[in-house]
């Protein structure tokens, strides 16, 4: 197992990072149950980090799902279907209007996933009355597979890792099977670009919450990295902000972005990637996310499963239920706080991107009596 490390970003150029989009939020407000998720003060985390404050954007309950991923999946699904129909957002402005147009169309949504994205695509299919085929890597835990099937989707377990599931999903694309992926490859860039845009809604909420609460802007923002879609959205919100440093966090054996930074271009690392941070077990960065991620971050760090477990327990001390991938941002700061130079003048922002999506593992780490809502 590789050792945890810190990598200064030689490609850092925040002026090249794109901008957030306000358009997805208008659509998200038409989804049933939409509401901004909370921004929570985490004093136990601040004490452990030695920072002035830590704020946690808690994505454990977003639109009735245990992860932020539905924001990207819903917007990408909407835009893919609009393109398929040859329609504009003005012609079909809401979820209900879209459902009416695709009724009895025979269309099927398809996605590869390490958990949360696929479940979100399956939920969108259910809301729209469409079938869904979700492909998952062979090491996915049974609880996450069951959660996807609970949305009414067909789940196929692929012999291999996340990248193998991606390749298998790409092969299914047709006039009636529409692939909604959060990563990109040669010739397939628009849908994952829309996924990144969909996360603008969450980042817009964060910026609004800081302003509404009169909070000092963050001086350190950590973002966990899988293929890079979420990290790209974070970069669009904060890269180039005066006095703000961005830190990207990856598992030690799934550090495809750090490896790509070292090589100066998108690089695939050998698998399998087997961290319990399942949502981050990716071997190749998204081509469409790479420009923002490579330009937006001051540094990248890697962490072990034990180090993210420490972060899960610390967030629980602040009454925040955060799963393995969800706690990785904080885990990276905890593991490398001295090298990163975090001190009592820093205000820190992390995003807990998921709740306890593997409840048995969560309880084994945080405590047997823990019963997340």
Catalytic residue list contains 114: yes
Buried b (16+ CB within 10 A) or exposed e, 145-160: bebbeebebebeebeb
33 class by beta-carbon count within 10 Å (0-12 exposed, 13-18 middle, 19+ buried):
exposed
- The edge-to-edge listing of strands for the beta sheet with 131-137 is 154-158, 131-137, 108-112, 177-179
**What's the chain's length in residues?**
373
188 class by beta-carbon count within 10 Å (0-12 exposed, 13-18 middle, 19+ buried):
middle
- Cα separation of 356 and 371, whole Å? 10
Catalytic residue among 57, 69, 163, 197: 69
Catalytic residue among 114, 164, 182, 255: 114
Q: Are strands 220-224 and 347-352 parallel, antiparallel or unpaired?
A: parallel
Q: Is 39 helix (H, G, I), strand (E, B) or coil?
A: strand
- Cα separation of 250 and 255, whole Å? 5
Token representation of residue 288: 């469409």
Catalytic residue list contains 103: no
Catalytic residues: 69, 114
């Amino acid at each position: 197992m590789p050792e945890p490390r810190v990598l200064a970003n030689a490609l850092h150029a925040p002026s090249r990072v794109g901008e957030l989009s306000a358009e997805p939020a208008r659509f998200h407000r038409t989804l049933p149950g939409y509401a901004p998720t909370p921004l929570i003060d985490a004093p136990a985390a601040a004490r452990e980090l030695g920072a002035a404050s830590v704020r946690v954007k808690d994505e454990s309950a977003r639109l009735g799902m245990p992860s932020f991923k539905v924001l990207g999946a819903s917007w990408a699904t909407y835009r893919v279907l609009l393109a398929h129909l040859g329609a504009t957002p003005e012609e079909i402005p809401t979820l209900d209007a879209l459902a009416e147009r695709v009724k009895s169309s025979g269309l099927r949504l398809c996605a590869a996933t390490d958990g949360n994205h696929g479940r979100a695509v399956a939920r969108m299919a259910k809301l729209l009355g469409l079938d869904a085929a979700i492909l998952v890597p062979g090491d996915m835990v049974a609880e996450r597979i069951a959660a996807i099937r609970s949305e009414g989707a067909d789940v196929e377990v692929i012999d291999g890792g996340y990248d193998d599931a991606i390749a298998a999903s790409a092969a299914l694309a047709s006039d009636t099977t529409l692939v909604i992926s959060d990563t990109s490859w040669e010739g397939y860039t628009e849908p994952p670009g829309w996924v990144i845009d969909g996360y603008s809604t969450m980042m817009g909420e964060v910026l609004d919450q800081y302003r509404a609460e009169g909070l000092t802007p963050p001086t350190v923002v950590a973002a966990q990295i899988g293929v890079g879609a979420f990290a790209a959205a974070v970069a669009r919100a904060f890269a180039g902000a005066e006095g703000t440093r961005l830190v990207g966090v990856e598992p030690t054996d799934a550090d495809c972005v750090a490896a790509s930074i070292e090589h100066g271009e998108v690089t695939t690392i050998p698998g399998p990637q087997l961290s319990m941070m399942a949502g981050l077990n990716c071997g190749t960065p998204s081509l469409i996310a790479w420009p923002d991620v490579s330009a937006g971050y001051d540094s990248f760090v890697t962490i072990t499963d034990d180090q993210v477990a420490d972060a899960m327990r610390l967030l629980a001390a602040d009454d925040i239920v955060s799963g393995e991938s969800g706690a990785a941002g904080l885990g990276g700061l905890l593991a490398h706080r001295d090298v990163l130079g975090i001190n009592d003048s820093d205000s820190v922002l992390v995003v807990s991107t998921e709740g306890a999506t593997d409840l048995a593992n969560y309880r084994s780490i945080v405590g047997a009596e823990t019963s997340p809502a």
